[in-house]
A and B are shown apart, each in its own frame.
Chain A
Amino acid sequence: MIYQYYPIASCRMGALWTLSDIADSCIVEFGPAGTTHFSIEGMSNLNAEPPSHGYTTHISERDLTFGDTSRLEKALMEVDQHQNPKYIFVMGSTLSSIIGTDIESICMMMETKVKAKLIPVKSDGFRGDFTYGIEEVLMLLATHVVRSVDEAEKKPLSYTLVGTTMDVYSGRSDIRAIKELLYNLYGATCHTVFTEGSSVDSISNAAFAAVQIAMRKEAHKACALMEKAHEIPYVTALPYGLGGIEAFCEEIESKTGWVRNQAYHQTEISKLKGIVRRVMEHLKDFGPLRVMVSGNIDTVQGVNKLLSEFGISESVGLVNHIVKNCPEGIYDQATETVKHEVLNKYSPDLILGDAVLIEFAKCRSTSVRWTHQISNPNLDQVNISHQKPLMGIEGMRYIGEWLLNI
């Protein structure tokens, strides 16, 4: 498969994106220095400024020929001694994977020589796309980092958001929108985020929360682990659109017993309904609109639902990773070739998606009249505002506003 822009990111990239969002996480990579340097700089493509500590050991021809892992062992002891972290995430590389370096065994062997807990990360670049890496790291955090707390210590009106990482274009805005929604509806506060803007301490205290919110499908397994180990229920509905917000609230209430502020809820829902009417009235003149949405599976499904509430139901989705049992009307593993084919086949009027899809639409004489970036990969878009969500009440306002301006 040849790419003019970006390939679908690998599991190793997904794992690094997830870990790098944690301010004081410590990562040691056994691989060529250039890959580490490239990945640190490359995260700016996602509008991220990774706060973590990621180290490389570099790797030489000699190491690869003789299977010498002493560089890694020395680096682990050094980081342990000098940085004194609670955990060190140990990653291989595609090169160490090819020669069969067993990162897990090295971690076991080094256990007695270091104070930090060594956590081997399997995502070596060959196990799948970036969603594999995100899922793996979330599960590692749930398994190794989250500590148990007494029932009495739990904070009944708090929650944990699991799965918002730097690859989600609207991630920081969605976190803000959900925080606002749950505070105004229930007086609940966010305890921890896995992993956007988080810290090791904050994640280790995740079991204080009364409920977990799985922000993406890759978070489900980690949430299930924490439910089993720490008896924290989790919610899988996501608050996209009016229907989504209602389903989200109902699921939270059923899992927590929280009682919503009816006055606030009714006022806001009524305002949203007003926006929906206004948008539908506005779009009437355009006739039936065809829309193409791209991003990860949750974004695509969520935004499609949201748009259908505005009366735009003729939509096709392009998902930038593999989806098991992919729903009808959605193309998974949407490579550039797929994007070209689907653009030609569907001739959409609107695109809400990633920058590459938008670029393709602009470069070709397609029917596309309006485009708006809501997902990665990114080309040049600066994305620093935290007020462009797709979820919650503000998400509905934001997309409604965009539609009113077309």
Chain B
Amino acid sequence: MNENKAQALPFKGSIEAAKKLSEIREDADIIQLSHAIFPGTHCPLFGALMVSSYVKDLAVLNIGTEECTFYGKDFARLRQKGKDLVFSLVTHKNDITFGMHEKIKNAVQWIVEMHQPKAILLISTCVVELIGEDVGAVTETLESAWGIPILFVKTEHFKCNSHIPGISDTMAMLVKLMEKKEKQHHVINVLGHRFDGFAENELAKLLEKYGVSVNMSIPSDCSATQLREAGHASLNIVTDFTALPLAKAMAEKLDQPYVLFEKQLMPERILQGYAAIGKYLDLDWMDEVEQMYNHAVQTMAFARKALEGQRFIYGNTPMKALECAHFFCELGMKALWVQMRELYADDTGFIADILATGNDPKVSRIANIIPMRDVYDLYQPDVYIGHESPMILIRKNIKQLTFDQEASALGFQLTLGVIEKIKQVYQADSSARMHAMGSANPHSQSHPHLQSHPHAARHPKDVAGHLHGVSKGGFA
């Protein structure tokens, strides 16, 4: 650590105050590194739109300020490539005094007449909830007027600290569209997958191979009409913890059991997930699953040879923070810092797993990157996992890993995809550094680009070279 530089770091105090993972007992132990936050977490509206915009035939009425509706629509449009059915109803100053019931009724009428959806979701946002507008009170009237289900979800951000409640509540609300049906043997639903192309997944392909058909993937591949048929499945496979409230509601309403098969990276956990599904569905697939498991374990072992000692800061990925951090620790990497949204019920196990690898990183809240830039200077990581300004990381000679594409996978495919991405990033970094050195004059040792980065001297071995070798031996 550069002591002189460290003393000049403005957030040094709060960085020192952040607790280590071993000291985290409850959510309140995860501190925010500053009072002024940038960019801040996403809100439940974001989560609600992320889920609901996938469901075809489901119109969504976003009720809120110009900002909530403008940016919400923009997000849903981009996410669904213009095929969303998200509409906006703007709350004006007069509505705070006179209420919005009539406006909501008129808006629903317009949507029904113009677009004939099979159901409508009403989303109330911060201002609507703050003024105490009872949007839920109009749903029954609207249902009897238009003969379609009207769902309702609240998304006020002042009661929580992330978009997760918006995802969970919206998913859970979908149960209202479902009807009890006769169960079909070897038919399942997938709950919680929020990426396109579920059929291309390892889990989907394996299920198909063993005679199991996917009734629907909720929300990524379903419609309001199809959701009525969700009750045909004999099992729900939950791929994201945010779908657990829906799974529980479906268990109660439709008598459907569920099994967790989350987006996880550690082969042991994936193996357990496949075993649980196999047990429920009575599938004789463990020989094949174990082969896949062995391949993933072997690939991890090869990668470990190259990554041992690489120091990382975890920012964010679509995966669970601590499960993901544990995976990187198992790759021999050293966890310096982990940013977390909040502490979840199953995090205790992941904490124990990370500590067992000899790592005890510091922990702070997610989505507050300005003070984190002091953390980079103090802790000097080799790699940052998550979203940050690439230019800032390049200037500090920190590699960046993001897994937005890879995260659409499930099962061992996810583990392998993530390792492949690491390989690509390290190879690209190595090439860039080789290029920088090669293009310098014969006194390349004093190349200003390399000199300005203390890390340049901290790489006694060429990690990318190792990964390249691994690629030939193990990945290809």
Contacts and interface: CB of A to CB of B under 8 A. Distances in A.
A383 to B, nearest CB: 15
B39 A3 contact: no
Contact of A32 (B43, B72, B111): B43
Q: Give the one of B61, B66, B74 with max A CB within 10 A.
A: B66
Contact of B10 (A13, A45, A82): A82
Nearest to B77: A379
Interface stretch (A59-67, A248-256, A282-290): A59-67
Contacts of B65: 10, 94, 125
Cβ-closest 9 pairs across A and B: A34-B43, A33-B40, A10-B66, A82-B10, A55-B36, A42-B71, A32-B157, A38-B71, A75-B36
A157 interface: no
A13 B43 contact: no
A28 B37 CA distance: 9
B10 A81 contact: yes
A79 B106 CA distance: 45
B38 A95 contact: no
Interface in B92-118: 92-93, 96, 106-107, 110-111
Contacts of A53: 38, 370
B35 A78 contact: yes
A380 B82 contact: yes
Interface centre among A12, A36, A75 (most CB of B within 10 A): A36
Contacts of B40: 33-34, 36-37, 56, 58
A357 to B, nearest CB: 16
A41 B75 contact: yes
B225 interface: no
A98 interface: yes
Interface in A5-51: 5-10, 12-13, 28, 32-42, 45
B203 to A, nearest CB: 31
Interface in A323-382: 379-380
Nearest to B47: A34
A74 interface: yes
A34 B111 contact: no
A1 interface: yes
A9 B36 contact: no
Given A7-B90, A98-B131, A33 B66 contact: no
B70 interface: yes
Interface residues of B, number: 51
B11 A82 contact: yes
Contact of A34 (B11, B66, B88, B157): B157
A2 interface: yes
Interface string A71-112: 100111011011000000000001100110000000000000
B132 to A, nearest CB: 11
Given A32-B157, A32-B158, A94-B126, A38 B72 contact: yes
A286 B212 CA distance: 62
Interface in A261-294: none
A153 to B, nearest CB: 35
Interface in A130-175: none
A34 B74 contact: no
A76 B34 CA distance: 11
B301 interface: no
Contacts of B72: 38
Interface size class of A (residues with CB under 8 A): 35 or more
A35 B68 contact: yes
A175 B126 CA distance: 38
A98 B71 contact: no
A54 interface: yes
Nearest to B93: A126
A315 interface: no
B461 interface: no
A28 B93 CA distance: 23
A75 B38 CA distance: 11
B100 to A, nearest CB: 12
B459 interface: no
Given A4-B87, A45-B74, A379-B82, A55 B38 contact: yes
B130 to A, nearest CB: 6
B69 A34 contact: no
A328 B197 CA distance: 52
A28 B36 contact: yes
B41 interface: yes
Nearest to B108: A2
A95 B111 contact: no
A2 B35 CA distance: 37
Contacts of A54: 38-39
Interface of A: 1-10, 12-13, 28, 32-42, 45, 53-61, 63-64, 71, 74-76, 78-79, 81-82, 94-95, 98-99, 125-126, 379-380
Contacts of A41: 71, 75
B191 interface: no
A99 B39 CA distance: 24
Contacts of B11: 82
A34 B46 contact: yes
Interface centre among B36, B65, B75, B93 (most CB of A within 10 A): B36
Given A34-B157, A39-B71, A75-B35, 12 more contacts: A7-B69, A7-B88, A13-B67, A33-B157, A38-B67, A38-B68, A42-B71, A58-B161, A64-B158, A94-B127, A98-B131, A126-B93
A63 B10 CA distance: 27
Nearest to A12: B67
A111 to B, nearest CB: 18
Contact of A57 (B35, B88, B106, B127): B35
A58 B127 contact: no
A33 B96 CA distance: 22
Given A34-B45, A34-B46, A7 B66 contact: yes
Nearest to A88: B36
B130 A37 contact: no
B465 to A, nearest CB: 35
Contacts of A60: 158-159
A191 to B, nearest CB: 28
A42 B70 contact: yes
A56 B73 contact: no
A3 B38 contact: no
Nearest to B11: A82
A60 B110 CA distance: 35
Nearest to B157: A32
A96 B67 CA distance: 15
Nearest to A129: B66
A12 B38 CA distance: 18
A131 to B, nearest CB: 13
B163 interface: yes
Q: Select the residue from A53, A81, A95 with max chain B CB neighbours within 10 A.
A: A95
5 contacts: A2-B61, A3-B88, A5-B73, A13-B70, A36-B37
Interface string B255-266: 000000000000
A55 B38 CA distance: 5
A157 to B, nearest CB: 36
A35 B67 contact: yes
Given A58-B161, A78-B34, A2 B41 contact: no
B38 to A, nearest CB: 5
B68 A9 contact: no
B93 A59 contact: no
B111 A2 contact: yes
A38 B46 contact: yes
Contacts of B455: none
A82 B385 CA distance: 25
